[in-house]
Homo-oligomer: A and B are copies of this chain.
Amino acid sequence: MTDKAKTERVVHVPLGERAYDILIGPGLIGRAGGEISTRISGRKAAIVTDENVGALYLEELMDGLEADGIDATSITLPAGEKTKSFEHLTKVCDTLLSARIERNDAVIALGGGVIGDLTGFAAGIVRRGVRFVQIPTSLLAQVDSSVGGKTGINTRHGKNLVGVFNQPDLVLADSDALQTLSEREFRAGYAELAKYGLIDKPDFFAWLETNWQAVFAGGPERIEAIAVSCQAKADVVVADERESGRRALLNLGHTFGHALEAATGYDSARLVHGEGVAIGMVLAHEFSARLNLASPDDAARAEAHLKSVGLPTRIGDIPGVAPTVEELMEAIGQDKKVKGGQLTFILTHGIGRAFVADDVPSSEVIRFLEEKLGQ
């Protein structure tokens, strides 16, 4: 307990009826039963996980739940972005119904953002909504996808085009779990973490420039960086739960990033989400500079930091044949941030000074991309 008190952080997300806590610290997977049973009345749970994470943490979680009197079943899905599909959604719903999960029972997502997004969607539609607990195990999921209530799956038309808003009842971000995450995935999550600095926390960005090695190494700086990120996301979500205005800032780097993911066929060997975001954020800074909205020095500074942690920062860093401008524009057109044909972009006036521009002419985007790609 003293250990817990020393290191555990709690971020409360005050969403009225849908308020919830995010606990951040070591050992939370083992203690999940206790944290869940004080908050959720049902005595049944169904865990959704993927093959990688399941092999590492499913048993520990099941044992902990059982010790606290919660009867748990589980389903283990293939790892990777392709699991966010109608096919797997159908399978998960079937599992929850077979397990007779009722409204006050818990559906638990144990894994990265893929498992969190898919499971949150299933939990939001089975019996028109059952209780939902996120146990994010990737850095990206801990600082981003597990907070805020967006859930969904991909279709052939693009990413996250089908889903619901479904706030979790509890988020348990176990910092120990990150020890088994690959370097590459950790870096990808770091891109989202750095994003909060680039949006509106210049001091946090500067702190990261100094402390990033400690964040990568683990320990108190890592927990601190995760907590700052969760708080930053929670603040935006509370101000704008359904993404009509300010929440769009969280998409910094994402219009380009999603387009790159689409144009590379969601092939994680080539590009994972956070890497697309890293490149996308640099592009957003460069595009802003090109439109004379920001200094090129800020774009250079953003790129330098992301590069120093080992992230890709240019389209040319992606292995394989570069996407064409046409492919990227097609993907941008299908992105959710299109209103009445006009393009909405998150642009910036500099580090920590991002803003929503909803009148970006697509001709400018095309010209910029043509330059970048030399096409």
Does A75 make an interface contact (CB < 8 A)? no
A150 / chain B contacts, CB cutoff of 8 Å: 128
22 contacts between A and B (CB under 8 A): A42-B340, A86-B86, A86-B90, A93-B161, A97-B155, A97-B158, A97-B161, A97-B162, A97-B334, A102-B339, A121-B125, A124-B164, A125-B163, A126-B162, A127-B336, A128-B150, A128-B152, A128-B163, A128-B164, A128-B165, A129-B164, A164-B164
Question: Roughly how many angstroms separate A254 CA and B218 CA in the complex, as a whole number?
Answer: 56
Question: Roughly how many angstroms separate A126 CA and B162 CA in the complex, as a whole number?
Answer: 4
Beta-carbon contacts under 8 Å, A326-341 to B: 334, 336, 338-340
Q: Mark A86-117, 1 if CB is under 8 A from B, else 0.
A: 10011001100110101110000000000000
- Known A-B contacts A125-B164, A127-B161, A128-B165; A340 and B155 likewise in contact (beta carbons under 8 Å): no
Question: Roughly how many angstroms separate A121 CA and B338 CA in the complex, as a whole number?
Answer: 22
Known pairs A121-B125, A128-B163; list 9 more (Cβ under 8 Å): A42-B340, A86-B89, A93-B155, A93-B161, A93-B162, A94-B157, A97-B161, A103-B339, A125-B163
A6 / chain B contacts, CB cutoff of 8 Å: none
Question: Roughly how many angstroms separate A155 CA and B161 CA in the complex, as a whole number?
Answer: 23
Q: Nearest-CB distance from A154 to chain B (Å)?
A: 11
- A residues within 8 Å of B by Cβ? 42, 86, 89-90, 93-94, 97-98, 100, 102-104, 121, 124-129, 150, 152, 155-158, 161-165, 334, 336, 338-340
| Interface of A: prevailing SS | mixed
Instruction: Give the residue of B125, B156, B158, B340 whose beta carbon is less than 8 angstroms from that of A162.
Output: B125
Question: Roughly how many angstroms separate A155 CA and B150 CA in the complex, as a whole number?
Answer: 24
A340 / chain B contacts, CB cutoff of 8 Å: 42, 102, 104
